[in-house]
Amino acid sequence: MEGSGFHVPGRRSMTAVVLGGSGFLGSHLCDALLARGQDVIAVDDLSTGRLQNIEHLPGNKSFKFIQADISIGLPDLGTPELILNFASPASPPAYLSMPIHTMRTGSLGTMHALELASKANARFIMASTSEIYGDPLEHPQTESYWGNVNPVGVRSCYDEAKRFAESLTFAYQRERGTNTGIVRIFNTYGPRLDPTDGRVVSNFIMAALHNQPLNIYGDGSQTRSLCYVSDLVDGILRMADSKIAGPINLGNPNEMTVLQLAQRIIDLTRSQSTINFQSSLPDDPQQRNPDITLAKSKLDWFPHTDLDTGLQSTVQWMTTMEQNNDK
């Protein structure tokens, strides 16, 4: 294929670049884009992404993987039509362990990606986050809400990197006319979620599978809204196919407490686990619930996977992975 370094004879298909392509979300995006007949280049520095997530793809002639740190610069990616920037540590343990790298990726990495999008006249999708809203005082959170964020707290490396990336994305749109779109992603779960990444779903499932206590930080009354990964990918691709600048919230509006989630996972796994309450974490949001009115009206998008179905699929994947690791 012209400009990309690989091709399928007899046709020129659209090329999509997925930055962070071996991560949880990025790898699912690679699958979905390939299923649509697109050629895909995945770029990842493997700081948090895992080759295991894309091990089924190297035999696909329409897929190419490049290991690179986008905060240093981009490899030669030709002239893609679509760039999806999902490169960043995303779980609290990951970004708290590498705060400088997280901020470099969100700032310099995003700038390098936007430079390519501008030169290639590509559609650029920036993966932002519900962390933009911090510990919100408005419920549910609309895109017009500016948030309640601690700019120097321990979690600020991730929050502020994403806020800067959003601002930079709009700067390129306004000054250069770059075709950009921003999605604000709320809590997402599903197969390929790293079982050791410290997020609430993976923490609870892994503890339940081993009949260990499920640790809740605080009294468990804090809420989360969980979106299954295939629903989220559908929303991202609808955004990519549009000309909408956003930002647009993507998440499941069905809110539940962390305590309710813990009990649900114990029941689904038929675990003997107990619940262990610990001290609250710094700057941990007490409520997280997306207003997805814009996603419904502009993208005709709504998540359809019910929680039990999604959790069962995730539990099955983690169980299989554990069994394979024990062999």
Distance separating alpha carbons of residues 273 and 234, to the nearest angstrom: 34
Distance separating alpha carbons of residues 129 and 152, to the nearest angstrom: 18
Nearest Cα to Cα of residue 280 among 326, 217, 238: 217
The residue behind tokens 């986050």 is 129
The one catalytic residue in 95, 133, 145, 158 is 158
DSSP, residue by residue, 106-146: IIIIHHHHHHHHHHHT-EEEEEEEGGGGBS-SSSSBPTT--
Distance separating alpha carbons of residues 128 and 106, to the nearest angstrom: 10
Dihedral Cα 74, 75, 76, 81, nearest 10 deg: -50
Task: Give Cα 204 to chain centroid, integer Å.
Answer: 19
Establish whether 158 is a catalytic residue. Answer: yes
Tell me if residue 107 falls in helix, strand or coil.
Answer: helix
Distance separating alpha carbons of residues 125 and 114, to the nearest angstrom: 10
What percent helix, strand, coil does the chain show, rounded to 5? 40, 20, 40
* Token output for 64: 């190419």
Nearest Cα to Cα of residue 38 among 87, 84, 78, 82: 82
Count CB neighbours of 234 within 10 A: 18
Count CB neighbours of 142 within 10 A: 14
Angle between helix axes 258-269 and 200-209 (nearest 10 degrees) is 30
8 A C-beta contact, residue 62 and residue 39: yes
Distance separating alpha carbons of residues 273 and 312, to the nearest angstrom: 17
* Enclosing H/E stretch for 135: none
Which residue numbers are catalytic?
158
